[in-house]
Amino acid sequence: MSAQIIDGKALAAATKAEAAAEAAALKAKGIEPCLAVILVGENPASQVYVRGKVKDCGECGIKSLELRMPETTTQEELLAKIAELAADKTVNGILVQLPLPKQIDERAVIDAIPPEKDVDGFSPVNVGRMQTGQPCFLPCTPAGCIRMIESTGTKIDGKNAVVIGRSNIVGKPAALLLLAKNATVTVCHSHTANLKEICANADILVAAVGRAGFVTGDMVKPGAVVIDVGINRGADGKLHGDVNFEEASAVAGYITPVPGGVGPMTRAMLITTLYRMSGSPAVTGENPYSDVPAGSYYEKAVIWAMQKGVANGMGGGKFEPDTRVTRQQAVTMLYRYAVKIAGI
Ligand code: NAD
């Protein structure tokens, strides 16, 4: 294996630490961020996802409301609940866990969530604003993918990026975000001809297909950054990505594992979006992609500093959210480290 692993857990931990510090700063100003999660029915996977989101909120000091509705819930009942939460000033973000029972029209539900509380970034207004480069809330999985690519130090600008999959929640927005970062983007899907050749030319390859081991070693350009979004439960009961990890990691420069890659990062990005919704100063910036920090050394420096115990996040006056680490901050971290190890 030659590829370096992009550690989704470490990046997610740094992202959540940032969110926790932001949430604490908001609380000090009397604002308590709150996420409302609606789960309709008994889908076991959905129950796990919702539990994970509620747990993440708790770990970051963010309030969450878990609202369970029965499998037999009608569309009118669900829309009424959303309207209630939309009008509730103490609720900042609303998330309806998908999929929904078949009597409910998913699109109508997504449309009913006000864009300013649309923590998933699926509403038509947020999608449209993302497409036109205006301030918006980004969907968590693709925003997390961008963060992971940038964490490697790879400049997206000018690169050939290939996204396999064109779903509204992953493939299409991932392609748009890569385009916004000036990549030359190709979107592949189930009707694409010469898929292998196209993928083998990608400097950045994002796989969001939903088929275990779909991307084989011969589809990976040597040195490429490979982001595996897929989560597929195998016959062995384990989770498998869309990428054949063993083959691809022998060729790629960087690769995300499954589990421990895009999954944790997606969850962390949800919390980031929530604090931005809750009125954090980081929200007010005009850069629509402000939750995708530009410099990988920034991520790396902060992760390193947190692991060494010489910094505890990007808030609390130590770091500005969503800006690069300044020379002064870097020197301060080094000094603290030196004090810690050498006692100077
Ligand atoms: P989807 O089923 O909506 O879309 C799959 C896409 O893959 C489609 O656009 C389809 O055209 C394409 N595709 C299917 N077969 C193909 C083939 N043979 N060749 C080329 N393209 C093909 O799935 P989705 O919701 O986008 O999710 C994709 C995967 O990502 C799933 O495994 C899902 O579980 C996972 N996922 C993970 C996260 C996370 O947090 N890690 C989040 C969302 C989705």
pLDDT digits (tens, 9 = 90+) for 231-242: 999 999 999 999
- Residue 268 to residues 18, 33, 165, 328: CA-CA distances in angstroms? 10, 15, 23, 28
118 - beta bridge partners? 94
Q: Which atom of ligand 1 is nearest to the CA of 166?
A: 9
The verdict on the CB of residue 219 being under 6 Å from ligand 1 is no
Q: Cis peptide leading into 281, omega within 30 of 0? A: no
In the chain, how many H helices and how many E strands?
12, 11
In angstroms, rounded to a whole number, what is the distance separating the alpha carbons of residues 192 and 198? 9
Q: How many residues does the chain have?
A: 344
Query: Which residue has better confidence, 268 or 344?
Result: 268
Predicted local confidence at residue 19, as pLDDT: 86
The verdict on the CB of residue 210 being under 6 Å from ligand 1 is yes
Q: pTM of the prediction?
A: 0.83
Predicted local confidence at residue 285, as pLDDT: 37
Percent of the chain with pLDDT over 70: 84
The verdict on the CB of residue 140 being under 6 Å from ligand 1 is no
Mean pLDDT, all residues of the chain: 86
Q: Which two tokens stand for residue 315?
A: 């808030």
Q: Which atom of ligand 1 is nearest to the CA of 262?
A: 41
Ligand 1 center from residue 214 Cα (angstroms): 11
Active site residues: 53, 97, 120
The verdict on the CB of residue 170 being under 6 Å from ligand 1 is yes
326 in Cβ contact with 301 (< 8 Å): no
In angstroms, rounded to a whole number, what is the distance separating the alpha carbons of residues 184 and 158? 6
Rounded mean pLDDT, 174-186: 94
pLDDT digits (tens, 9 = 90+) for 59-92: 999 999 999 999 999 999 999 999 999 999 899 9
In angstroms, rounded to a whole number, what is the distance separating the alpha carbons of residues 155 and 139? 21
Q: Which atom of ligand 1 is nearest to the CA of 267?
A: 40
